[in-house]
Amino acid sequence: MTELYFIRHGQTIINQEGKVNGATVDTPLTAAGISGAQAAGRELATCHFDHVFVSPQKRAQATAQLVLANNPVADIQVVEQLHEMAFGDWEGRLIADGKKDPALRRFFTDPEHYDPSSYHGETFAAVVARGQAFLQHVVTTYPHQRVLVVGHGTMLTVTVRSALGASIGEIMTQAQLDNTSISVLQSDNGTDFTLARWNDTSFLTPAIDRLA
């Protein structure tokens, strides 16, 4: 059985400002983001990871470095498939303003009919496809190993929950993964998955501010 540990990056300045994160924007971790990643590292200090896969974006890589500070892993791979969902022209702009755009508003209120083409965004179908391809590759290539995946809120939420059979409507009408949360999937074949841990932030003391 392959065990996949997923961590969403720590809180960033863009998160703190209530702006749209995405595939092309990157800001440093806040103090809360740094402390959250360090806390996740302490939580996983006794876990030996055979491989680590990280998004190409700086906020995820900074989080991975903090998580692994006292738990070094030789095999760390940057994986393009793990970048955050792309929101095109809305990236870096206020979420509150974005909700005034009928097309972007469907991301929150009607995800099954979400069409980001008007602002050059990425579809849910594309995120699901790259997420499931990544999972299948990891499980079939690294059977019976423990891997760490450090990435992003929307991308990891969609990847993990779609692997469990949830529809986009079901996924997006529930809370997304919190910053520096830990989730765990288990699989023998890359097709059938069991959820062993979901959005766990119990190790964060005191609790940090978490923005969607």
Quick check: is 92 in a domain? yes
Number of separate domains in the chain: 1
Quick check: is 39 in a domain? yes
pLDDT digits (tens, 9 = 90+) for 134-167: 999 999 999 999 999 999 999 999 999 999 999 9
Provide DSSP, 14-73: HHHTTB---SS----B-HHHHHHHHHHHHHTTTPPPSEEEE-SSHHHHHHHHHHTTTS--
Q: Please say if the pLDDT value at position 17 is more than 50.
A: yes
Question: Using an 8 Å Cβ cutoff, are 10 and 30 in contact?
Answer: yes
Q: Please say if the pLDDT value at position 103 is more than 60.
A: yes
Quick check: is 146 in a domain? yes
More confident residue, 125 or 211: 125
Quick check: is 210 in a domain? no
Quick check: is 167 in a domain? yes
Q: Name the nearest CA neighbour of 159 among 22, 39, 8, 1.
A: 8
Provide DSSP, 50-61: SEEEE-SSHHHH
Q: Please say if the pLDDT value at position 212 is more than 60.
A: no
Catalytic residue numbers?
9, 84
Quick check: is 60 in a domain? yes
Where does residue 120 fall: left (phi above 0), alpha (psi -120 to 50 degrees), or beta otherwise? left
Considering the chain, what is the average pLDDT of its residues? 94
Quick check: is 89 in a domain? yes
Write out the residue range of the structural domain in which residue 188 sits.
2-200
> What per-residue confidence (pLDDT) applies to 206?
59
Task: Provide the CATH number for the domain around residue 110.
Answer: 3.40.50.1240
Tally of CB atoms within 10 A around 88: 17
The residue type found at 33 is G
As a whole number, mean pLDDT of residues 85-101 equals 96
Quick check: is 156 in a domain? yes
